[in-house]
Each structure stands twice: as C-alpha cells, then as structure tokens.
Amino acid sequence: MADGLDTLVADADRASAAEGLRTHFDSGRLTLEEFEERLAEINKARTAGDLEHALRQLPQKEPPVSLRVRDVRWSSLVVQYALVNVICILVWAFSGAQGDFWPKWVLLFTLVAYLRRMGRHSRRRRPPRIESRKD
C-alpha cells in the first residue's frame, strides 16, 4: 500500500485491501452489512487515508489461530473417519463377532457425517463482490 495518507492508490492496493477485509469478514469480525459498506468504501477510495479509514478498528496483522478460517484437510478427516470405524470393528470382533455386524451402522453414520462436512466446506456462502467502477 502507499506510504503517505494523501498518496493516490492503485487498483492493486484496493484489491489487496478488499482481500484483507474479506479475511476479517471470514474471521467473524464484521457483519455482512458492515462488510458490504466497507467494501464500497474501499472501491471508492482514492488515497491511502481512504483505505485506512475503511479498515478502521480492524487489526492489521494476521488474525490469531483461533479466529482463522477452519482448516479442513482430507487427510485429517480420513484419519478421524478410519479411527472411529476401526475401533468399532475391533470392539465387535473382540466381543465374539456374534450376530449382526452392527459396526455397519457406525460406518454409515460416519460416512454421511464425513460427506456432509466436506460438502459444507465446498458450498460455503461467500458474500457478493462489489466491483469498482471506473469513472
């Protein structure tokens, strides 16, 4: 971003500020209305001071780990899924493996939960982007 508050900013500076604002929105610091209002301010900004005003009351460093967007990795989810199911199958096997294979219900339930969790992450609603107008 530009050094002086009265220095004119480029489109790249506005895009960088908008991404920072989106990070704060994703972390839960802004409501959708506040996000849209501040994004409009960023898109109208002509100087570094205007950009700084749009980012007021927001920390300018990386959000703490507890406020970052949740990291959902395939490997972590697969390990959780496999561990729960292996434990259930071992309990069934060591208890005599008599009768119905009841871990099938645990397998089914955890598979549904796993797929829902992955689907929720991919369908996450993003706020609308407001395009800057060139006058």
For residue 67, how many other CB atoms are within 10 A of its CB? 14
Whether residue 48 contacts residue 2, with contact meaning beta carbons closer than 8 Å, is answered with yes
Q: Which residue has the higher pLDDT, 124 or 60?
A: 60
Packing angle, helices 32-44 and 11-26, rounded to 10? 170
- Please write the tens of the pLDDT for every residue from 28-43: 999 999 999 999 999 9
Whether residue 3 contacts residue 48, with contact meaning beta carbons closer than 8 Å, is answered with yes
pTM: 0.43
Residue whose pair of structure tokens reads 């009841």 in the numeric block: 102
Q: Which residue has the higher pLDDT, 115 or 65?
A: 115
H helix or E strand, kind and range, residue 49: helix 48-54
SS3 label, residue 131: coil
- Angstrom distance (rounded) from CA 94 to CA 91: 5
